[in-house]
Structure formats: C-alpha cells, structure tokens
Structure 1
C-alpha cells in the first residue's frame, strides 16, 4: 500500500469514527435525566445533567417542573446555588409518619449560581415516583441564562422521534417491581 492510499484510508477511518459520535453529541447537547429508567413506586434520586449554557451565555437559573404523581420531593443541596421549591396541593392527600400530607413540590428552582457555557453540571432531587410501571414521563426543565433561555419541554407525538425535537423534555421510564423501598432512607 502506497503512502497516498494509506493516508486516504486513514482519513476515511477518522471520518467514520467522527460520524459515529454524532448521535451521542446531539444527545449530550440536551438536558437529560439520570437514570433514564427507575422502578415505579420507588424512592429514586434523579439527576439532571446540564451540558452547556445558551449560545455562549452562562446558565443562571434552572427550573425543574415536577410531574403529577411525584411525592416526597427533596432537592439536593448544590454549593453556590440557592434552592427554592414551589408547592401545589395534592389531588389525593396521604399519611406519612402520623401526619397528613396535603401538598407536594411542583417545581424546584436552582438560582444565584453561574454555570459557564463551556462547562457542565448536575442538579439532583429525590422523589417517590408514581406506581405506574411502563409509563414514560416527561420532566420539563427550563434553563435560564444571562442571555437567552432553553425550554426543555417538548414532547414527541406518537410516531415522532423525540431525538428530532430541538428542545425535548428529559424522559423517565417507570419500570416494574420496585415500589416498597421504605421511606426513601438509603434509597438509590
């Protein structure tokens, strides 16, 4: 094999390698939730990964909108960020530790920090998930930057590929057999 043939093959190999990372890079460009699957009815730590700011502008505020059916929601402390929760009444109150629980967290807001556009970070909550195995739940996230905003709220219609959406909501799939993990003590 001559030098020209070798260089052409090397270029093609590098191009193919680079192309293989394209689907991953577009997924990395969106806010995502981890894990992407969790047992229905379980207490689970959900981590929202923010991979960038808004076209060069740093993230200044992150709002995670908590879906119906999530209860016992607690945000995780994040150094240098303030945490605020917005509550809503529960459709069906329940008893916990001898106390009637009549409301739940509707939104968790991290603010007061600054996440540069070229860095990534993670923001976490713990929640008791709905006991609805097989359901895929969108979790809307609003990312507010110094200049601009990303509304990760889009949900694919039946037959539509969620990866085709410019700003898809993070998705959590509820799996079977996981409820009954106690009161969230020592949970995931």
Structure 2
C-alpha cells in the first residue's frame, strides 16, 4: 500500500525554511541596528564635564575604516581629544579659538567587523543646549559615509539611514535622581540587614537564657529526687 507523504514533507520543509529564515533575520536585525557610529554616554549633566566615546564596528560597506571626522556642536565650553596610540589627531579651530572639528586617522585601517573607538573630553556651561549633535564623517579605504542625519520631532531616530551621534544634556537632579534612589534603596537594605542581625542576636540570647533556666530547673529536680531517695 502506497502512502502519500507529500503534505507532511511539504509542511516539514516549510517549517525548516521558516526556522532558518527566522534565524537569519534574528542575526541580521542586530547587525543592521548596530551599523552606525554611536556615542557613549548619550546623556550628560548640564554645566558638567564628561568623556565621550565614539565607536563603530563596521566600515563603508566592507571597506576598512581609515578616519573619523567629528564636528563639534555649538555650546561647548571646551574640547580635549584623548591621545591614542592607534590614531593620529588633527584639531580644527574656529575664529573664536574653540575646537570646531577633530579628525582621528587610524595608523592601521580598522577592518569591517572589528570595533574601533576614539574619545574626547568636553566641558559644558550655561549656554550648552539640551541636545548636542555630533556629525561624523567616516572615511574608508574605499568610499565614505556621512553620519549626519537628525530625527525630526516625533520621528524615530532608529528609522534614519545614517543618524548622527546625539547626546542629551539634563539637569543634575534628573540625572542623579536614579543614583539617589539607588542609594536610598541600598541604605534601606543595609538597615534591614542590620535589624535582621540584631533580631538573630536577640533570639540567640533568648534561647541561651532559656537553656540556662531549663538547666537550673533540671538541676533542682535532680537534687530534690536525690534527697527523697536518701
């Protein structure tokens, strides 16, 4: 008797194809999402100083990266590029003497798929805006990419093809609120632990005292029983 297994085979092939396709998509989505020049941290406290790290893990298509040119936004009080043995640094200044752009050139081109990073310190003051945009031009052995797009109001930055790195400037209370809450939680946890230790100590003392009383009572009973036998 012949049994037609075509429907089952078809379903199995469809399932396998779906799983493979899903796996490929799962691997591809993070790769696409990370295909940009990012900045960390992406939030600084108003009037403070901070160190920004600009990183990437891709070239222009598959071409190795040779340089990053980062344009400074207006409103920065100071800019100090970090010396790095893997990069040479060229600083451009405006008519006001402030740093307007910094170009990092790799001594050895960074291959596609390997992470490269450069850092610089910046100072903020009262004139610093709430949002700092750092346009970056990534130059490669072949070609270049301009990471200069900025999301409009209501637009998802992740939908941009070549978003510029953006840093938000927040008030000190907003930035440190989470730390204060964490400190308060830690203090509460320490207090609870201390109370638990005290409770355990008190319980141990109570048990010790109870044992002593029970021992004395047993001794008295034994003495009385001995006297009765005598």
Q: TM-score range by the shorter chain?
A: 0.7 to 0.9
Q: Which residue of 2 aligns with 1:105?
A: 99
Equivalent runs, 1:43-54 vs 2, <5 Å: 43-54=49-60
Q: Which consecutive unaligned segments of at least 5 residues does structure 2 have?
A: 1-8, 174-230
* Higher relative contact order (CA closer than 8 Å, sequence separation 6+): 1
Aligned 8 A contact 2:75 2:129 in 1: no
Q: Which residue of 1 aligns with 2:122?
A: 127
TM-score (ref. length: structure 2): 0.61
Q: Which residue of 2 aligns with 1:138?
A: 133
CA distance in 1, matches of 2:91, 2:16: 54
TM-score (ref. length: structure 1): 0.74
Larger radius of gyration: 2
CA distance in 1, matches of 2:91, 2:114: 25
CA distance in 2, matches of 1:176, 1:23: 34
C-alpha displacement of 1:16: 6.4
Structure with greater proportional strand content: 1
The 4+ residue runs of structure 1 with deviation greater than 2 A are 8-27, 129-134
Q: Which residue of 2 aligns with 1:35?
A: 41
- Alignment RMSD: 2.8
1:50-73 superposed Cα distances (whole Å, 9 cap, x missing partner): 111111111111101010011221
Q: Which consecutive unaligned segments of at least 5 residues does structure 1 have?
A: 91-102, 179-188
Q: Which residue of 2 aligns with 1:68?
A: 74
